[in-house]
Structure 1
Amino acid sequence: MVDLIAQEYTTLKGINNMTLEIEKIVAEGVKLTPMMAQYHEIKVNYRDHMLMFRMGDFYEVFFEDAINASKILNIALTHRGKLGEHKIPMAGIPHHAAATYIDRFSSEGLKVAICEQVENPKEAKGIVKRAVTQVVSPGMPYDLDKTDSKEDQFILACNEVNGRFEIVAIDFTTGFFKGFILDSFEDFIEKIRVLHPKEFITYLGQWDKYESVATLNEHNGTLVTHLSKEYFNEKYSSVYLEKLIPTYKRDQLLNENQSVLGPIGALSYYICSTQNHEEFTHLHAFSLSDRTGSMKVTIPTLTGLEILPKSRETYKDSLLGFMDKTKTSMGSRKLKTVFTNPLTDRKEITNRLDTIEFFLKHDDLLQDTREALNNVRDLERILAKAATNRANAGDLLNISSAVDVYEELTNSLSELPTNVFKEMKTEDKTNLFKLRDDIKKTINDEIGANLDKGNLIREGANETRDHLAKISQNTAQALVELENRYREETGIQKLRIKSNNVAGYFIEVSKTHSDKVPANFIRRQTLVNSERYATEELTQFEKEVVVAREKLEKLEREIFKGLIKQITDLSHAIQMLANILSATDTLQSLSWIARNEEFSRPTISEKSRDMDIRGAWHPLIKAAIKDQFIPHDLKLNDETYFGLITGPNMAGKTTVMREIAIIQLLTQIGSFVPADNAKVSICDFLFSRLGASDDILKGQSTFMVEMAETAEILRHATDKSLIILDEVGRGTSTYDGLSIAWALVEHFIENTKALCLFATHYHELIDLADRYPEAKNLTVETQNHRGNVKFLYRLVEQAASQSFGIYVAKLAGLPPTVLKRSQSILKSMEKESSVSQALLDSDHSEQLDFFSVQTPAEIPEYLKQVEDHLSKVDINNLTPIQALNKLNELVDQITLN
């Protein structure tokens, strides 16, 4: 049946043109039912949305929406009525379980328009009025309680003006509202990487000349929403901001941020058109971001170093996941912000380090702080729920609890070096305490209390409410008393007073006693075995009970709305509260890690290039192998700032470089570090190129990606940067790779002059340390006893003797024949200068001399010319690249003959 309906529907129309098809059929004279006409009238305004049409206790979806819903949710596809000769596909979703289904649609990148009944069906004249009350998308989630607590939900609108790039970002779930102005396209793309938006607002053709914008959005799984270009206009900024945010925030924004009003206009229009509310008080006052006090580090660098996770599934395997010991969702999100914005201001770094040291000296306060923060919920998202009329009683009680925690920590942490608690104004503090007290005395915190039952508001909070509640609560007893009186008056002992939703209150008497019923009993209904009656007294009692319940419910809702109004009026103070508690949570998390992992306080050097690290370890690896981890020492400075690391695979070169980068970054976020002692200078930029990766979306090979990233480093690195490079040049031929690596080392030493760790498998590069006093050879120590290699994992200042690649291949399980052949080829290569010629002349027989060459009786003329050519070469004045070019000329000369 499902396939037949879908097939019939497909023949009716193209899957994405339902609205046009209905218009065509209607134009041909086919009439729609009133319900389908109403559906069509709403659907034309939400053509690219899944329209969930409320029908009683269900949401129903029709046409292509129904077919898509049945596939995504794996639910039954049926039909409702016909359109002309064709059945209309339909699927239904229970109202009480809608949140789960809507989240599924959103995760598939769909927008969902929720169409509700906006009048009481009992009062409707004709078809019930319906309207879209909310639009749900990846950037505008339906259920804030189920939204990933560790992730931001950014929506971006961007623009390019005179070569500068503007970004405006809103996280509707937390109130984040900021702008960014970038001077280059590279910085623009990197900022989008950092924000990782759920939704990207644009207009057709806006980014056609920048293919990487679309590529990045596709790679990130970002939903791209197209608006008309006219909304990217200053005019719409003022028109829709009036609906979006309070007056005091709006005026400041329009006056101080003229440069980004285009994207602000687009975002303002989009939010106002998708959310059925008049004002969004939870949005922060808009500001332009200033990163002048931050060390620059890109998302590819952070993911390559495994500091940030590459996906949600790898969160626990990243440094961020390892160090995230926060107690609140807000703290977890802020910790990620801290990791992506390392500091360059010495005072700010020192303040954070002082705070961690304070907590370590006062372990009882650290533990008490963690226990207190355990009682704090996501205030930012609660505030968003309040601003959009989705908050419940539990949310209000959670705000009250958070104020309690704030008051407790304000007192206990009064001596905290970074005392964020002092940021709260006295007036805001007073208002928050009053709000807390009002919530506590108003909201009934007993399990099961809710507005529908008329018991959400505490007794004593409102005198009128208490009176109405008493009437409602005494109904049962009053009915028992009335029932007993009627029994006495009639002599019918089995007389019962009952009620149902249709008939209301009634008296039920069996037919065997109908002759005893008095005249004032009015017959309402006759059943098989009984009669139902009413009396004027019972009817009046019912009216009083119903009116009292209605008044009670209405009054409780008004009291609840009053508390919501208090909350939205105090949005700024609650945002400040959220910021204080999340910042405290972040600091205690860093302190908890330092305490349990025995991190040490780093020293910040006054010099521009200084790194002296003793007993360093990689925190995740040490946590996995415990005492087996061998710590490392490293010293770089103004005199020797380039470390060339050679040595065998599997010996731990990459681990060393990762841990050094981690120590640098942790120092600049104001954290203790995984080392016995560490002194580092402040860097302006952390660069890293580790591991191989293809950019399939761009069609770029591993080597192309490697070269592009290396070029980026060369363009932006300064003598205050830290550069981590691993195995540059391995994705091409040996000579190409060696020459590129060699030239890069020279450039970094002679021109960039940054602190640099450069790991390579090109053993030839070790000679550069003799030429440049600014460079030193480093290797991870090994022992080789009769062919048995032992990796000692200690970092020492010397060049590696060999790579032990064949030994690693043996450990990996390569067959003995391949290993034996490899060993033979390696020995031959080590004897000869021409690797390629050696491989061409080689024979697979072990008995032959691999590189044996028969000397001719007479030297040919062309070889004499080669000899003459060589005799004129001044090898002492040749660079490596010039030498390779000269070698290529000689090879060509010989080949021609």
Structure 2
Amino acid sequence: MTHTTLQDIISHGVKLTPMMEQYYNIKQNYQDHLMLFRMGDFYEVFFEDAHLTSKVLNITLTHRGKLGDFPIPMAGIPHHAANAYIDRLTSAGLKVAICEQVQDPKDAQGIVQRAVTQVVSPGIPYDLDRASSKEERFIIAAAELDSKYYLAAIEFSTGEFFGSVLNDRQSFLDRIRLISPKEFLCFKDQWREWPELFQLIEGMGIVKSYLAPEYFEQKHAGLYLDKIVPGYKRDRTLTKEAVIIGPMCALAYYLKSTQLQESFQHVKPFRLESDVQTMKASAPTLMGLEILPRHRDQYKDSVLGFMDRTLTAMGSRSMQRLVSQPLRDIPQIQSRQDLIEFFINQEKKHQELRDLLSDIRDLDRILAKLATNKATSGDLLNISYAVNKAQEIIKLLNAKNLKALPKLAPKMMSALDELAQEIQATLNDEIGASLDKGNLIKQGVNKTRDRLAKISVSAEDELVKLEERYRKETGISNLKVKSNNVAGFFIEVSKTHSDKMPKKFVRKQTLVNAERYQTDELAEFEKEMITAKEKLSKLEREIFQNLIQLTLEKCQDIQELSSYLGLCDAYQSLAQRCRQEEFIRPEIVEYQICHLEGAWHPLIRSTLKGDFVPHELHLDQECYFGLITGPNMAGKTTVMREVAIIQILAQMGCFVPAKKATLGCCDYLFSRLGASDDILRGQSTFMVEMTETAEILRHATDRSLIILDEVGRGTSTYDGLSIAWSLVEHFVNNVKGLTLFATHYHELIEVAASLSGAKNLTVETLNHQGNVQFMYRLIEEGASQSFGLYVAKLAGLPQQLLKRAEHLLLELESEEEEAPKNCKRSKDKNLTQLSLFPDQPVQEIPTYLKKIEKELGAIDIMHLTPIEAIQKLYEFKRHLELKHLQ
């Protein structure tokens, strides 16, 4: 439904009111934003913005008069509750321009001057105190050169600023999935270059913010980047990967243009990430294994949520980084294990640490508030509190050789200690202290401030004395000396006493039941009082701003302290959960092995309240492939998820859910679990499955952990079996990484048994006279039979249907046994496969199709393995998709 716009009204020649003309002129610069227009105690929105705001916030849509014959649609939100409303608007994917009154109405000649003072968006929260500690709102920008992808990301509320250089498109897309940004900066035609990226952006609900192409150019670095990352020119990694400076410039410009500031002292030094020392795992893998949550409301049901017992916002964010970036460096892993073991063994010290951490606020976001002039005295006091608690934490932990924690330089901590003392000596921490009341700064900090404060305090006493004197002079016992923001200071008496007032009392205002008067003495008193209060407020504000600037000068030191406290919190959180769940310290070795005794899935055992059958598993360099067969519901997938979770936890440096564990370090974790149709993108379950499998084949090494569940089930039985068969052979003979391959194709049991490096596994099942019992224990043998009908019975299928299915199964099994004897392939050459499509008129074949035809003609099918066929198919399909989108 279309609505009348202000532009439509103007096109009809309607003259605008001065206020609407002001609104229109400002709105012209923010046409893709919803503009909140300050009107007294409300923010108001007009025309199409009003319709949209009313719908998103579910508030009343009304009208504010007319322009000519056209009503002015309007909606409004109260200024005092704006934070919550603005947060809801940005959560809905909207960008909001906040237009404030920038002039005191008393000084205005005509309409009050207004201007946009801030722009907020899904990636830039309005109220930093409301921002969830578990949710980071990254904004990203990217560039491509010579098939390399350069990605830069910034999180405004915490100051995180980093980048990645990716060598292929799939890694680039996976990195975006893992970051899960709220906004993507791009220019208008960029989608033509990256159709797959824009499909991902749309699918993830990421908001696109368009900038002109020149803001992505490296030549503008001096204009936009210098004040945010002053030392970027000296960074050798950036010199080597200079292309990433373009996306960095775009991010810097976006911050400058939305926040209307030149510099942001809270933004951390840019870091270029490297995955050399970390295990690689894609976002779909981590989410599919439920290691990371797919959605915010699934946090508690993920491994991350299960292990997260942090007490601070910094700790929660550190925990997310530990889980999503497991290590490959064994000494680093062992250092983390040492720290967790220390906390587990030293339970008293562990509890002391938790007590010290419990009331520390989010230092990163406090710095963001300081840098954007939104800080309160409470924010500065919270920094001083954190510094004091950090000193106690250092004393508690520094005596130990805990290498996993960074060392904080004594000189730095001494400087922060001085800052904390200065904050505490300057600011009044009493409840109710504020700049408006003139009592924010402690007495003794500034002599002029103390004198002005004394005048303000004594003035209250003088006012009481003046009231008593006027009562005696007039004989009116209920005479009162009052003040308010409108009338200022005045003397008030009831109307019955107005004839008793002496001549020096000049009538100022008449009310229904009272008269108000002024005297020269009271007017002089008011002038002195206002002057003293204004001077006091101005001076206190200056002292407060100086303290903020002093704090910002120590910004990097505070960020280093924040990182230290976050890591302390994350590691103690892991220790807390490991102690509660009786996890053990795994042995991490150089060679490839996965040896587990008494292992369990942590989330499932917690849900079952301990009623969980533990598993045993042994894979190593000699026997690295496990083919798992057995019925549904017996626990095959649980075992595979469990192994992946244990590997992630181990390479995080954490303890693991097992009685004993010996593990090697993996370079990649791959998983293909379940089926997720992508019908909207024209991809079937089977196509998605084959695409993901092809990706695994391209990147898997003999140092990888590979989890595959039911590959090949999305097509016909023999097609699926042949693909699964060839995959088994390829993983065993070529890849040789630790692999768990679950399948319903029992024909593969003999294949695995015949291959050196492979073995059969099944989840033990007992069948006594048709009564099946799942034992949930993993044993080294192939499944003896299928239990599909039994599972169907458990699912509640009707008895009549089950009997019919059992009869058909017996017939089919009988026919299968006879088939080799009776089956004869038809020799009739006239039998052809029916076409699914009607005859089409002959058309000229496009060049790119001729190229594919030529490549197909050059393939020797007799010497092409099934794996190579899958890879070729994937390449052809990708090429066709790109051509289609062009």
Report the TM-score, using the length of structure 1 for normalisation: 0.89
Match of 2:658 in 1: 675
User: 1:420 Cα deviation (Å)?
Assistant: 6.2
CA distance in 1, matches of 2:526, 2:301: 64
Contact 1:166 1:181 in 2 (8 A): yes
In structure 1, give the amino acid aligned to 2:596: I
Q: How far apart are residue 639 of structure 1 and its match?
A: 1.1
Deviation at 1:115, TM superposition (A): 0.4
The Cα of 1:127 is off from its aligned counterpart by 1.8
Coordinate RMSD, CA, aligned: 2.5
Preserved CA contact (<8 Å) 1:375 1:405: no
Taking the aligned partners of 2:827 and 2:678, their CA distance within structure 1 comes to 47
- Determine which of 701, 719, 727 is the counterpart of 1:736: 719
Taking structure 1 as reference, are residues 257 and 800 closer, same or farther at Cα in structure 2, changes over 3 Å only? closer
Equivalent of 2:344 in 360, 372, 393: 360
Match status 1:464 vs 2:451: no
Q: Is the 8 A contact 1:241 1:250 kept in 2?
A: no
Amino acid at match of 1:262: G
Deviations 1:324-351, CA, capped at 9 Å, x for gaps: 1111111111111111111001111010
Among candidates 490, 498, 517, match of residue 474 of structure 2 = 490
Q: 1:157 to 1:391 in 2, by over 3 A?
A: same
Q: How far 1:563 moved relative to its partner?
A: 1.7
- 1:638 corresponds in structure 2 to 621
Give the distance between the partners of 2:143 and 2:863, measured in 1 at CA. 50
Q: Work out the CA distance in 2 between the residues paired with 1:54 and 1:565.
A: 29
Give the alignment partner of residue 600 of structure 2, picking from 605, 617, 635: 617
Deviation at 1:257, TM superposition (A): 5.7
Residue type matched to 1:573 in 2?
D
Q: Percent identity?
A: 56
User: Using a 3 Å threshold, how does the CA distance of structure 1 residues 639 and 474 change in structure 2: closer, same or farther?
Assistant: same
Aligned letter for 1:65?
Answer: D
- Provide the residue aligned with 2:424 in structure 1: 440
The one-letter amino acid paired with 2:379 is D
Q: Does 1:190 align with 2:174?
A: yes
2:72 counterpart residue number: 88
Q: What letter matches 1:800 in structure 2?
A: A
Give the Cα–Cα distance (whole angstroms) in 2 for the partners of residues 421 and 664 of structure 1: 22
AA matched with 1:739: S
Structure 1 position 514, deviation (Å): 4.5
CA distance, structure 2, for counterparts of residue 475 and residue 442 of structure 1: 24
- Any idea what SS the aligned residue of 1:45 has? helix
CA contact (8 A) 2:343 2:575 kept: yes
Could you say what secondary structure the match of 2:816 adopts? coil
From 121, 144, 149, give the equivalent of 2:128.
144
- Could you say if the C-alpha distance between residues 256 and 496 of structure 1 is closer, same or farther in structure 2, counting changes exceeding 3 Å? farther
State which structure, 1 or 2, has the greater radius of gyration over its C-alpha atoms: 1
Contact persistence 2:218–2:243 (CA under 8 A): no
Query: Which residue of structure 2 aligns with residue 414 of structure 1?
Result: 398
The corresponding residue for 2:844 is none
Shift in CA distance, 509/336, structure 1 to aligned 2, threshold 3 Å: closer
Separation in 2, partners of 1:510, 1:738: 100
After superposition, give the CA deviation of every residue in 1:367-423 in whole Å (9 maximum; x if it has no partner).
Answer: 111111111111111111111011112211211121122101000011444356653
Residue identity in the other structure for 1:685: Y
Q: Is contact 1:742–1:880 with CA below 8 Å preserved after alignment?
A: no
Q: How far 1:512 moved relative to its partner?
A: 4.8
- 1:227 Cα shift? 0.9
AA aligned to 2:352 is: D
Aligned counterpart, 1:66: 50
Say if 1:283 and 1:477 are closer, same or farther in 2 by CA, change over 3 A. Answer: same
Count of aligned pairs between the two proteins? 833
Mapping for residues 238-317 of structure 1, pairs under 5 Å: 238-242=222-226, 244-245=227-228, 247-248=230-231, 258-317=242-301
Question: In 2, Cα distance between the equivalents of 1:649 and 1:712?
Answer: 27
**What's the secondary structure of 1:70's corresponding residue?**
helix
- Equivalents in 2 of 1:364, 1:860: separation in Å? 78
Pair 625,526 (structure 1): closer, same or farther in 2 beyond 3 Å: closer
- Distance in 1 (CA, whole Å) between partners of 2:406 and 2:55 is 54
- Name the counterpart of 2:695: 712
Once structures 1 and 2 are overlaid, which stretch shifts more, 527-536 or 88-97?
527-536
2:856 corresponds to which residue? none
In 1: Cα distance, 2:289 partner to 2:352 partner:
34
Flag the 1:778–1:522 CA change in 2: closer, same or farther, 3 A. same
Instruction: Specify which of 192, 208, 220 is matched with residue 208 of structure 1.
Output: 192
Query: Distance between the aligned counterparts of 1:718 and 1:305, measured in 2?
Result: 20
Residue 148 of structure 1 aligns to which amino acid in structure 2? S
CA contact (8 A) 2:634 2:774 kept: yes
Give the C-alpha shift of residue 170 in structure 1. 0.6
1:118 to 94, 102, 105: 102
Q: Which moved more, 1:73-82 or 1:538-547?
A: 73-82
SS at match of 1:832: helix
SS of residue paired to 2:610:
helix
Shift in Å at residue 604 of structure 1?
1.0
User: 1:695 deviation in Å?
Assistant: 1.7
Further displaced range: 451-460 or 775-784: 451-460
Spell out, residue by residue over 1:765-795, the C-alpha distance to the aligned partner (whole angstroms, 9 max, x if none).
Answer: 0102331131111111111110001111111
Alignment counterpart, residue 304 of structure 2, candidates 310, 320, 335: 320
Task: State the AA in 1 paired with 2:697.
Answer: L
When structure 1 is superposed on structure 2, of 123-132 and 290-299 the one drifting more is 123-132
Q: Give a deviation string over 1:651-708, Cα, whole Å, max 9, x none.
A: 1111111111111111111000000000011111011111121123422111111111
Unmatched segments (≥5 aa) in structure 1: 1-6, 839-850, 864-876, 883-897
* Cα pair 1:420 1:580 within 8 Å, conserved: no
| Aligned partner (choices 322, 329, 337) of residue 321 of structure 2 | 337
Partner of residue 508 from structure 1, selected from 489, 492, 495:
492
SS in 2 for 1:436: helix
Q: Aligned AA for 2:8?
A: E
Structure 1 residues 768 and 504, CA, compared in 2 at 3 Å: closer, same or farther?
Answer: same
Q: Which residue of 2 aligns with 1:866?
A: none
Asked whether the 8 Å contact 1:768–1:775 carries over to 2, the reply is: no
Change (3 A) 1:61 1:724: same
Q: CA deviation at 1:819?
A: 1.3
Aligned to 1:726: 709
2:142 paired residue number: 158
Contact conserved, 2:495 with 2:513, CA < 8 A, in 1? yes
Which stretch has the larger CA shift, 116-125 or 76-85?
76-85
- Which runs of 5 or more residues in structure 2 are unaligned? 829-861, 868-886
Instruction: Return the offset for 1:493.
Output: 3.2
Deviation at 1:248, TM superposition (A): 4.6
With normalisation by structure 2, the TM-score equals 0.90
Partner of 1:39: 23
Q: Do the aligned partners of residues 493 and 348 (structure 1) sit closer, same or farther apart at CA in structure 2, a change above 3 Å counting? A: same
User: Aligned with 1:662: secondary structure?
Assistant: helix
Q: Who is 1:628 aligned against?
A: 611
Query: Matched residue of 1:628: which SS?
Result: coil
Residue 810 of structure 1: CA displacement? 0.8
Contact 2:228–2:252 (CA under 8 A) maintained in structure 1: no
CA distance in 2, matches of 1:670, 1:299: 20
| Corresponding position: 1:226 with 2:226 | no
Question: Structure 1's 85 and 300: CA in aligned 2 closer, same or farther, altered over 3 A?
Answer: same
For residue 556 of structure 2, what is the amino acid of its counterpart?
H
Determine if contact 2:711/2:724 at 8 Å carries over to the other structure: yes
Q: Is residue 532 of structure 1 aligned with residue 516 of structure 2?
A: yes
**1:772 pairs with 752, 755, 758, which one?**
755
